[in-house]
Structure 1
Amino acid sequence: MDYGVVWFKRDFRVVDHAALAAAARRGPVLCLCVVEPSLWAQPDAATQHYHFMLEGARELHAELRRLGGRLHLVVGDMPAVLDRLHALAPFSTLYSHEETGNGASFARDRAVARWCREHGVRWHEFPQFGVVRRLADRDRWQPAWEAHVGAPQVPQVPQPAPIFVPLPWPAERAPAAASLGLSAVEPALRQRGGREAALACLHDFLDVRSGQYRGGISSPLSAPTACSRLSPYLAWGQLSLREVVQATRERIARLPEGDRRRAGLSAFVSRLYWHCHFIQKLESEPALEFENLHRGYDGLREHDWNPAHFEALVAGRTGWPLVDACVAMLRETGWINFRMRAMLVSVAAYPLWLHWRPVGLWLARQFLDYEPGIHWSQMQMQSGTTGINTTRVYNPIKQARDHDPQGRFVRRWLPALRRVPDTWLFEPWRMPPDLQARCGVRVGEDIPAPPVELESATRAAKSRLHALRARPEVRAAKAAIVERHGSRKRPAARGRRPSGSGGQLQFEF
């Protein structure tokens, strides 16, 4: 009996699942989830990612059981799994969603494509996001995004109802994270995966929390509830981008004028557009995970690596309270808001003068919602190596005063600073020795002193960057990058277009 294999990768849902629906229309299907040791061995993988994926896979398995099937979990690298499956129960078609992942998943997908050609198996891939494979012209990208998110959703129960095929060998269990080489450390307060949690998060945001979105997403105090918190569910496909955009637009249409949620949800839709805009950069140029997008910046930081600076950052002991509090929150929750992420990268790139690649690998493991396309594009953008974006340098002292003026966030995550008076809270290394003694806080022992003087180190870093940027050959190469990766402004239609000015849209903070 011929059948099709539906390969679930980062799309753990039944709703709006184009691959499952297409396979069901053609005939019997086998639903497959593959735990690939070579992918989990990559330096951007973390235990929290693995467990979040398994939580989604378990709920998907329950959904498929209600339809009369099951999700078969198999351990092994994908070409070897396909070899074994094809030898025991030949099939003619493989179905999946497209994936814009890291370099290892890209190489894996090319190996799968080769295997399919060699075995006469047709591989049908379907867009997961508003990302266009083999995009020839950025001018046409925005209409393609609108077409994707505006298309009808695939029904929850594919029609005709699927006929499910069993796996031709005994069921396998998901291996423990440690057996895959993943660290035992995992954020105790991270979000939990699965479709049920994803829908609860979505409806809570649409119904209630979106009223805080405008004006609430910048401060680390308000952001945990003001932000949508949907990013991990989108990254692992437990919600589809299309269903989130459509649900948001439907809610906007039903809300009365003047309702704060309307403004918040409209801004949120523009963020979903940017979500795909940045992933498209990695889809179009996979090398940006490893190399400067603008090659004229090669050598800017690579040869000045300072391990002591990196260790201070990773340990949350830079001495800049807001930076260290953000690292502490990441360690416990797997999440911080976008502005604080940008500040962390800025501090790493400028006063600490660290190259973005090792910092990015560390942060990839810290972020539960790690999405390679967004992550590596932002790492380079905030580090100043894209060649097309404005230099963004975040002063951690100013950010603390602007977004945590009473020090509640800093004191929550850094208990040693709870005894420090407000006057000295964001620059505790300046406290006189007698005040340190009265507070029982010794700089250099109980709390760290910064490894560099912030203003002078930042000034020197910006000077080096701008000197390189001013070179004629570096300036000359900018136009080609804008043509390939720059956003395009189009006339607004029905209030659905992201805001911006000029031909190159800017991310709205």
Structure 2
Amino acid sequence: MSDIAVVWFKRDLRCADHAPLAAAVRCRAALGLYVLEDEWLEAPEWDPQHWEFIRQSLLELRRALAARGMPLLLRRGAMPAVLAQLRRDYPFTELFSHQETGAAWSYARDRRVAAWCREQGVRWREWPQFGVFRPLARRDGWAAAWEQFMAKPLLAAVDRLPGTTAQLDQGEIPTLRALDRPGARPIPPAGEMAAQQTLESFLSERGSRYLHTLSSPLLAEQGCSRLSAHLAYGTVSMHQVVHRARQRLRELREQGGVEAVERARHLRGFLSRLHWHCHFIQKLEDEPDIEFHNFSRIYDGLREDDWNEERFSAWAEGRTGFPFVDACMRCLRATGWINFRMRAMLVSFASYHLWLHWRGTGLFLARQFLDFEPGIHWSQMQMQSGTTGINTLRIYSPSKQWADQDPRGEFVRRWLPEWGSADYPPPIVPEQQVARAAREKIWARRRLPEARAQAAQVLRRHGAGADRKRAAKPKSQQKPPPATEQLDLFS
């Protein structure tokens, strides 16, 4: 009980199922710390909505910790300078936090913090935040490790935490105005309580037809879990979501009956996607450079020199002349959220039809997504752009997606009021012609002998079970099919 601890909150803004807080119980004194880092505020993926969600979560977290006897300090600055300044007034010996798989600036910051802790004799202990593991040279055994992690008992929120007798200014949790930043678009309720309410409403009612609603931008608004922002900022843990979803699945099995069986089927589909969440974050953990470079370097130079600012602006502003694409972009810009299939379509359209590089479009989308999660984001940007070397090309047809997902035009009319008038522009490109041209450019690289060697390397390092099964097929079955529908061009 002689240790003096700092619990460093990052993207884990909750009290329950929080390993660093549980460890702090055994210390003589402890306080919570959140650092508003200038590197993050200046990062190209930052957006005011991100801070507004965090700010609201921090306000609730500060109250919850205070009720348990622990103060939560807010500091602004660079790590580890903030730690050094804090230690002059509060001589802590322990730094507790969750591991973070984030953007490049966060990796560099963590290295600086680790060096400072070694120099100062401070022990920094980190716990996994998701089913993501370090170090991991190969994917063999990853699925079993994920299952083992999720099967561990939940950590209950402790009733009483050690505080400190040190007289420290807790610091204001600043508004965007106080930061001299523009206001945020409207955001959903933030914080641990809202996360639990969102989870329960999905498991008890909203998710009853999950598999039927997740692809439609109209139905997914309510039918999807809407937990992605809460997971991204840690107002709920993946561990909690998996446990509660499995508990609900057991309840449905015990309940029996046709309706319960059907609900259980949809819930199993949701659980499988939680597994994929961590699968993609693991890729960035294993290879941080994929934020900047192609998974398979055979695709280097494919799009970099063809950036077209006019096409990018039309795509980013929702005025490409493709109504469904533009409506999805308008919805995303207004709300900070759109369902996964529509995200994939937006990236596919930018990457293939407009031939834009994924890094530039990815930074723009990172600012639009309230739930921006670097590991998922950059893996998906490359997957949907065809630069992983191991995934099937999916060139989404905006016309077919519109017919399939919004056959009555309700979604388009809601977000694109000028559709059908003289104010709406014609298509910026000929849809099928540019899609076929893009397919041919990708396959010209993919047929190269060195492309196969690089794909094998990517597969060994990042491939999941489905990828490995596909690679195990005879080579004759792996050759690129000439028919465009085999590449989901008209999916």
Range class of TM-score, shorter chain = over 0.9
| Superimposed CA distance per residue, residues 1-59 of structure 1 (whole angstroms, 9 cap, x where no aligned partner) | 75111000000111000011112223321111111111111000110000101111111
- Tell me the equivalent position of 1:455: 432
Contact 2:232 2:372 in 1 (8 A): yes
SS at structure 2 position matched to 1:350? helix
1:218 matches 2:220: no
Percent identity of the aligned residues? 50
1:106-125 to structure 2, matched below 5 A, reads 106-125=107-126
Partner of 1:85: 86
Change (3 A) 1:157 1:167: same
Match of 2:350 among 339, 342, 348: 348
> CA 1:168–1:135 in structure 2 vs 1: closer, same or farther (change >3 Å)?
farther
Partner of 1:12: 13
Of the three residues 404, 407, 419, the one matched with 2:406 is 404
- Mapping 1:129-278, distance limit 5 Å: 129-157=130-158, 161-165=160-164, 168-177=167-176, 180=179, 182=181, 184-188=182-186, 190-255=187-252, 256-258=256-258, 259=260, 260-278=262-280
Find the aligned partners of 2:298 and 2:224 in 1 and give their Cα distance: 36
Q: Which residue of 1 aligns with 2:442?
A: 465
- Higher alpha-carbon deviation: 167-176 or 388-397: 167-176
Query: Which residue in 1 is equivalent to 2:369?
Result: 367
Give, in whole Å, the separation in 1 of the partners of 2:362 and 2:174: 27
Distance 2:167 2:358 in 1: 46
Aligned-pair Cα RMSD in Å: 1.9
Identify the residue that residue 70 of structure 1 maps to in structure 2.
Answer: 71
1:393-448, Cα deviation, whole Å (9 max, x unpaired): 1011110001100000000111112xx4xxxxxxxxxxxxxxxxxxxx21xxx011
Q: Flag the 1:316–1:165 CA change in 2: closer, same or farther, 3 A.
A: same
The match for 2:476 is none
Q: Is the 8 A contact 1:27 1:162 kept in 2?
A: no
* Distance (whole Å) between structure 2 residues aligned to residue 299 and residue 166 of structure 1: 59
In structure 2, C-alpha distance between the alignment counterparts of 1:291 and 1:177, rounded to whole Å: 33
CA-CA distance at 1:175 after TM superposition: 3.3
2:463 to 466, 486, 493: 486
Q: Secondary structure at the match of 2:141?
A: helix
Between 149-158 and 392-401, report the one with greater CA deviation: 149-158
User: Is the 8 Å Cα contact of residues 24 and 162 (structure 2) preserved in structure 1?
Assistant: no
In the alignment, residue 466 of structure 1 is paired with which amino acid?
W
Q: Deviations over 1:296-343 (max 9, x none)?
A: 110000000000000001111111001110111112111000000000
| Cα displacement string for residues 366-398 of structure 1 (whole angstroms, at most 9, x for unaligned residues) | 000100000000000000000110001101111
Q: Distance in 2 between matches of 1:169 and 1:23?
A: 18
Write the distance in 2 (CA, Å) between the matches of 1:462 and 1:80.
Answer: 50
What corresponds to 2:451 in structure 1? Answer: 474
| Contact 2:459–2:468, Cα closer than 8 Å, also in 1 | no
Secondary structure of 2:97's aligned partner: strand
Whole-angstrom distance in 1 between the partners of 2:356 and 2:234? 33
Q: Give SS of 1:451's match.
A: coil
Superposition TM-score, scaled by structure 1 size: 0.89
Q: What is the CA deviation profile of residues 210-239 of structure 1, one whole-angstrom value per residue up to 9, with x for unaligned ones?
A: 112011100111111111000100110000
What is the count of residue pairs matched by the alignment?
468
CA distance in 1, matches of 2:8, 2:19: 12
SS in 2 for 1:477: helix
Q: 1:181 to 1:487 in 2, by over 3 A?
A: farther
1:39 aligns with 2:36: no
Q: Does the Cα contact within 8 Å between 2:9 and 2:34 map onto a contact in 1?
A: yes
The alpha-carbon deviation at position 69 of structure 1 amounts to: 2.1
Residues 435-446 of structure 1: matches in 2 within 5 Å? 441-442=421-422, 446=423
1:55–1:167 distance in 2 versus 1, CA, 3 Å: farther
Partners of 1:227 and 1:500 in 2: CA distance: 29
Match of 1:331 among 330, 333, 355: 333
How far the C-alpha of 1:257 sits from its partner, in A, is 4.8
By how many angstroms is 1:454 displaced?
A: 1.1
- For the 8 Å contact 1:6–1:32, the answer to whether it is kept is yes
Q: 1:467 to 1:103 in 2, by over 3 A?
A: same
Mapped partners of 2:172, 2:190: distance in 1:
18
Partners of 2:39 and 2:125 in 1: CA distance: 24
CA contact under 8 A between 1:16 and 1:153: conserved in structure 2? yes
Match of 2:25 in 1: 24
Counterpart contact for 1:72–1:167, Cα < 8 Å: no
1:44-55 equivalence runs, <5 A = 44-55=45-56
Quick one: distance in 1 between partners of 2:14 and 2:29? 19
Tell which deviates more after alignment, 375-384 or 137-146: 137-146
Structure 1, unaligned runs of 5 or more: 421-440, 490-498
